[in-house]
C-alpha cells in the first residue's frame, strides 16, 4: 500500500516490439507487487532480473528472474555468500544488500548483477542456471 492508502497494482504486461503492441501476460507465479524496485536485462540468462523494492509495508531484499519467452517468474536464492552477507550477495560495506539500490546494472564481462547505493556501497550477485 502507498503511504496515502492506495494499493499497489501488479502490472503483468509485455511489449512485443515487432508487433508494436502490449499484451497481458499471465505467468502462474509472480513476485509480490512493489514499487522502487530495480530491473536489469541479464544477457546470459536472456531474462529480466528484479531486485528489491517496497511492498508498501517494508523494504524487500528478494531477487526475481522473468524469462520473457517462457513468461515465467522465478525467485532466485543464489548460493551462500560471505557470512556477513545475506545469501547470494557479496558485500562491500554493510552486512546486507540494499533493499532498494540507487542504481543497478548487469556486468556482462563478469556475469554479475551490480547494485550501488547513495552511501557509495556496492553489492554484487551472480545468478547462474544449471
Q: How confident is the model at residue 92 (pLDDT cuts 50, 70, 90)?
A: very low
Which pairing describes strands 59-67 and 89-92: parallel, antiparallel, or unpaired? unpaired
pLDDT of residue 56: 83
User: Which of 75, 36, 72 is CA-nearest to residue 57?
Assistant: 36
pLDDT of residue 18: 87
Residue 99 has pLDDT above 60, yes or no: no
User: Was domain 13-126 assigned CATH 2.120.10.80?
Assistant: yes
pTM: 0.73
Is pLDDT above 90 for 73? yes
Which pLDDT belongs to residue 74? 92
Residues in Cβ contact with 18 at an 8 Å cutoff, skipping those fewer than 6 apart? none
- Are the CB atoms for 9 and 1 separated by under 8 Å? no
In the chain, domain spans: 13-126
Query: Tell me, what's the pLDDT at 34?
Result: 86
Order of strands across the sheet that contains 103-107: 89-92, 122-126, 112-116, 103-107
Amino acid at each position: 500500500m502507498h503511504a496515502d492508502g492506495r494499493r499497489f497494482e501488479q502490472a503483468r504486461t509485455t511489449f512485443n516490439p515487432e508487433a508494436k503492441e502490449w499484451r497481458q501476460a499471465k505467468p502462474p507465479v509472480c513476485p509480490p507487487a512493489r514499487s522502487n524496485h530495480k530491473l536489469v536485462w541479464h544477457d546470459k540468462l536472456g531474462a529480466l532480473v528484479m531486485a528489491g523494492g517496497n511492498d508498501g509495508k517494508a523494504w524487500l531484499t528478494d531477487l526475481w528472474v522473468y524469462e520473457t519467452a517462457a513468461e515465467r517468474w522465478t525467485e532466485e536464492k543464489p548460493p551462500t555468500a560471505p557470512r556477513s552477507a545475506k545469501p547470494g550477495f557479496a558485500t562491500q560495506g554493510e552486512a546486507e544488500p540494499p533493499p532498494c539500490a540507487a542504481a543497478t546494472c548487469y556486468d556482462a564481462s563478469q556475469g554479475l548483477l551490480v547494485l550501488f547505493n547513495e552511501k557509495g556501497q556496492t553489492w554484487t550477485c551472480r545468478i547462474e542456471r544449471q
